[in-house]
């Protein structure tokens, strides 16, 4: 277990969107799940350790657990609001409860196993700035066991550019409809600001709306490849290109 003593104060950008997040992410995860499972193929046939960074409410954690049914999983989630849902999901299922450990500290302060067979970071890499990303590649290069891999996705836009408003998802529960839209604006060459609006309506009338912003570090496949090369790692695209999933492996085992 790697321990870092200095833990900076964590400012959680998900406090006001947490109630919508699990509901609105479930549909998109049905499309993402096969690509993550393909990228993890062969991991966890034997007892394995899998680290998941930015587990959110645990939708991806369930996909990892299904794909690697004997693996022990360390699920890292720094948002206490999202972690409450994650911990509930894990604790209410006997199988997940027996093999998923929930870690609260954000990367790179997280207490992680020194060695692991896979590291998964889906829909979350943009939360790491370039220094934290460099630390991530160092941890991956040092921690991956032979045959292991990291699985990440690069979300559009992969270069700093505006994204006009679009609908993310819409779901009904009881008499109410929950609805999320997103748009992105450029902040600088490496960063966009995502503006989300989470709306609740009943009988076609909006009864609540919450606007939130996330700062997001963009990354394109070419820059990913050159960052990885500095750590003797390389990436291969997996599955449908629009999902931006990459499996990252060590070059050392190819020699
Ligand atoms: C867009 S959500 C994705 C959640 C989940 N992976 C999913 O796809 O449903 C991004 C997640 O990254 C987490 N996160 C943000 N900064 C992080 C950090 N430094 N280390 C680990 N997780 C982080 C957030 O709390 C949030 O759960």
Domains assigned to the chain? 18-154+219-254 (3.40.50.150), 163-217 (2.20.25.110)
pLDDT in tens, 142-186: 999 999 999 999 999 999 999 999 999 999 999 999 999 999 999
Q: Which residues contact 237 (CB under 8 A, 6 or more apart)?
A: 221, 245, 246
% of the chain surpassing 90 pLDDT: 91
Q: What is the pLDDT of residue 46?
A: 76
> Using CA atoms, how far apart are residues 229 and 232, in angstroms rounded to an integer?
5
**pTM for the whole structure:** 0.95
- Is the beta carbon of 127 within 6 A of some atom in ligand 1? yes
Q: How far is the CA of 226 from the centre of ligand 1 (A)?
A: 24
Q: Tell me the C-alpha distance between 32 and 198, whole Å.
A: 22
User: How remote is the CA of residue 126 from the centroid of ligand 1, in Å?
Assistant: 9
Q: Is the CB of 20 within 6 Å of ligand 1?
A: no
Query: Between vectors from CA 35 to CA 213 and to CA 216, what angle results, nearest 5°?
Result: 20
- The minimum-distance atom of ligand 1 relative to the CA of 77 is 22
Pocket residue to mutate for ligand 1, from 36, 81, 86, 127, most atoms within 8 A of Cβ:
127
């Amino acid at each position: 277990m790697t321990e870092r003593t200095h833990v900076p104060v964590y400012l959680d950008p998900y406090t006001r969107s947490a109630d919508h997040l699990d509901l609105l992410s479930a549909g998109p995860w049905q499309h993402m799940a096969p690509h993550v499972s393909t990228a993890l193929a062969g991991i966890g046939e034997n007892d394995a350790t899998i680290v998941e960074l930015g587990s959110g409410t645990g939708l991806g954690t369930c996909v990892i657990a299904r794909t690697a049914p004997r693996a022990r999983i360390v699920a890292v989630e720094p948002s206490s609001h999202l972690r409450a849902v994650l911990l509930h999901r894990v604790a209410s299922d006997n199988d997940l409860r027996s093999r998923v450990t929930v870690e609260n500290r954000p990367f790179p302060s997280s207490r992680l196993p020194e060695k692991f067979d896979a590291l998964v970071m889906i829909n979350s890499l943009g939360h790491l700035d370039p220094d934290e990303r460099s630390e991530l590649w160092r941890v991956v290069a040092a921690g991956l066991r032979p045959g292991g891999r990291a699985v990440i996705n690069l979300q559009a836009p992969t270069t700093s550019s505006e994204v006009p408003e679009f609908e993310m998802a819409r779901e009904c529960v009881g008499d109410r409809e929950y609805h999320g839209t997103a748009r992105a604006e450029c902040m600088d060459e490496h960063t966009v600001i995502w503006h989300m609006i989470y709306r609740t309506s009943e009988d076609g009338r909006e009864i609540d709306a919450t606007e939130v912003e996330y700062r997001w570090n963009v990354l394109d496949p070419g820059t990913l490849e050159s960052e990885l090369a500095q750590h003797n790692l390389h990436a291969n695209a997996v599955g449908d290109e629009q999902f931006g999933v990459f499996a990252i492996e060590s070059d050392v085992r190819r020699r």
